[in-house]
Amino acid sequence: MEPQIPLFSDPACQYISLKDGDLVYCPQFFPLPEANHYLHTLLTSIDWQQESMVMYGKPVLFPRLMAWYGDAGSSYSFSGKTYHPSQWTKELLQIKEAIAPLSGVDFNSVLLNRYRNGKDSMGWHADDEPELGRNPVIASVNLGATRRFMLRHVKEGDKFELELQHGSLLIMKGALQHHWQHQLPKTTKVSAERINLTFRVIQ
């Protein structure tokens, strides 16, 4: 495996080394006033869409709202559709700049997911689309309600989970996307909204 050397190591973050992949979790990456500001601004300024996918010949709505922003040309195919990015907003560029030193990556796109309440979710998957390349670094920013993020090793069955809180940053790297899947399950305990941003490099 290639060594992954962060530009600096932050004592406020947890460095979690899993079998075949690594996580860095920074629970309070954004101070509360900044996290609140980003949550409220993104809820109103982002062009949120209710996307659907075709299953057994019928359109099925994704259980969340989505948006895709980034450099022109960083198009992304996902569940059989190609998404063209909207242009970066001021806040998205500020967040991208803030996470760059710890991620060691200059991201060129971000997928935004908005979970309106605990009924919204994302099923098991890996972010292993070909355009993300080998051993992609994915930086995930969390705003709003705390939700459980689960990981499972595809071959070995190992499990790991984190409660992703408001203002936190989770970096997924190494071979993680090639060996593990992750999901954000539904919950009856959460009624508040949550926004997740996954910053990616599209090749």
Chain positions contacting ligand AKG, by CB under 6 A? 111, 113, 122, 127, 140, 149, 164, 182, 184, 196, 198
Terminal CA-CA length for the chain: 21
Rounded Cα–Cα distance for residues 130 and 120 (Å): 27
**83-142: which residues touch Fe ion (CB under 5 A)?**
127
CA distances from 127 to 24, 117, 179, 199 (A): 17, 23, 11, 11
194 is in an annotated binding site: yes
Q: Which string of b and e fits 27-46 if b means at least 16 CB within 10 Å?
A: bebbeeeebeebbebbeeeb
77 is in an annotated binding site: yes
Considering the complex, what minimum distance in angstroms separates the CB of residue 106 from ligand AKG? 19
89 binds, among Fe ion, ligand AKG, none (CB under 5 to 8 A by kind): none
Q: Say if residue 200 carries a ligand binding annotation.
A: yes
CB atoms within 10 A of CB 167: 21
- Pick one of ligand AKG, Fe ion, none as the site partner of residue 171 (Cβ within 5 to 8 A by kind): none
Neighbours of 68 (CB within 10 A): 20
Q: Residue 35 carries which DSSP code?
A: H
Of the pair 86, 181, the CB lying nearest Fe ion is at 181
How many angstroms separate the CA atoms of 95 and 91, rounded?
Answer: 6
Please answer whether residues 6 and 22 qualify as being in contact, where contact means their C-beta atoms are separated by less than 8 angstroms: no
| Nearest distance, CB of residue 200 and ligand AKG, angstroms | 9
Q: Smallest gap, in angstroms, from Cβ of residue 32 to ligand AKG?
A: 20
Find the shortest distance in angstroms from Cβ 80 to ligand AKG.
16
Binding site, by residue number, is: 76-78, 113, 115, 125, 128, 182, 194, 198, 200
Binding site for substrate, by residue number, is: 76-78, 128
**Footprint on this chain of Fe ion (rule: CB under 5 A):** 127
